[in-house]
Amino acid sequence: MKPANILIATDSFKESLSATEAAEAIRKGIIQVIPDANISLVPMADGGEGTVQSLVQSTHGRIVQARVHDPLMRPVNAFIGILGDEQTAVIEMAAASGIELLSENEKNPIKTSSYGTGELIKAALNSGCNKLIIGIGGSATNDGGAGMLQALGIRFFDEKGDLITLRGGNLSEISKINSTKLDKRLETTNILIASDVDNPLYGGSGASRIFGPQKGADPEMVEKLENSLIHFSGLTENIKGINYHDIPGAGAAGGMGFGLISWLNAEIKSGFEIIAKLTGLEEKIRTADLVITGEGKIDRQTKHGKTPYGVAMLAKKYKIPVWAFAGIVQEDAKDIYRDIFQMIIPIADKNVDPEDSKRNAATLLQAIATKTISQFMIKNDPL
């Protein structure tokens, strides 16, 4: 039986394809077999790379360029998205403070700052927006959002009364925090954090211990980062009178969740849920005969807020079959998700060099889409 309506809702394939490029590659593969297929594309994201593109595209918004500072405080070109309502801005932390802005030998969360993300927030305010959606995936930082707060006007002083330029490794030097010059426009700005991480700020499952090593921290650096976050949270919570460090997601993006929640009254939600709502994904799924999703990797973490799992769970409500394509499929993924995905399909053979797969991801994805839909058609419509 030929599926009449096919919905393609993919995330990006990291270091290879944007969500839009991945969806388009699958579409091209399918029309090789079903030229008259009614195919809808809904590029997705979960708060990381591709969040701006997904929401701008789905709401007929626009991209605004911004000159900001990267994690090592070097000038860099970045961007924000203004949604179709002209009141809501979408920010990807990774655009200014992302790990992919650094070379391998530059990765060091002791030295990096989230200052550039604060500059992106200012760019959104300067564009007249009073609602912000901030995706905080892919960061290179572990400064609790302190650099971001500095860019927005909060001042940090050491015990001598001198201003400190903050990085992940020197938060312990803070003796006093003065927020009187925090941008007043933030008082009437609603901020929503899009994240798929529920870690606390510090502790065994906190930002430094879980994510620090991924950002270049050795064991000694992890301890320094941990102590820095504990010190910063202690000062913050003494001022605010509230315990923020244990809030789920406070440890997201090296503690950016903490900085946004404690000082800017932000609310944190599942990145996938935010984007699914704004793109009208569930209604589009409801009318489909087949849903196709995917991202760079399907593994045990996929069920923790990742796009393919979220798409599949929505489709399951309406008993619509879901296929998932991935650059890498963990060995036991098909068993783990047997009741979630009808098929999980790697885009390349195990023997293909991973770097070659990344370089040729669009071609591979298109080819495997053609092969998969052909086999499906033969099985369901035998001659």
User: What tens-digit pLDDT sequence spans the chain (383 residues)?
Assistant: 677 799 999 998 877 898 999 999 999 999 999 999 999 999 998 777 788 988 998 899 999 999 999 999 999 999 999 999 999 999 999 999 999 999 999 999 999 999 999 999 999 999 999 999 999 988 999 999 999 999 999 999 999 999 999 999 999 999 999 999 999 999 999 999 999 888 999 999 999 999 999 999 999 999 999 999 999 999 999 999 999 999 999 999 999 999 999 999 999 999 899 999 999 999 999 999 999 999 999 998 888 888 999 999 999 999 999 999 999 898 899 999 999 999 999 998 777 777 778 888 999 999 999 999 999 888 876 43
102, 159 contact by CB (below 8 A)? no
Residues 245 and 313 in one domain: no
Q: Determine the structural domain holding residue 55 and report its residue range.
A: 51-272
Domain C-terminal end among 241, 272, 303: 272
Residues 116 and 74 in one domain: yes
Domain C-terminal end among 272, 304, 329: 272
Task: List the structure tokens of 343.
Answer: 């098929």
272, 241 contact by CB (below 8 A)? no
Domain C-terminal end among 210, 239, 272: 272
**Single-letter residue type at 53:** Q
Residues 20 and 142 in one domain: no
30, 3 contact by CB (below 8 A)? no
* pLDDT recorded at residue 132: 98
Element (H, E) at 362: helix 361-380
Describe the chain by its helix, strand, coil percentages, rounded to 5: 40, 20, 35
pTM of the model: 0.88
Element (H, E) at 291: strand 290-298
52 vs 90: CA distance, rounded Å:
6
Task: List the structure tokens of 237.
Answer: 């919570």
**Domain contains 45:** no
Residues 195 and 312 in one domain: no
Residues 94 and 198 in one domain: yes
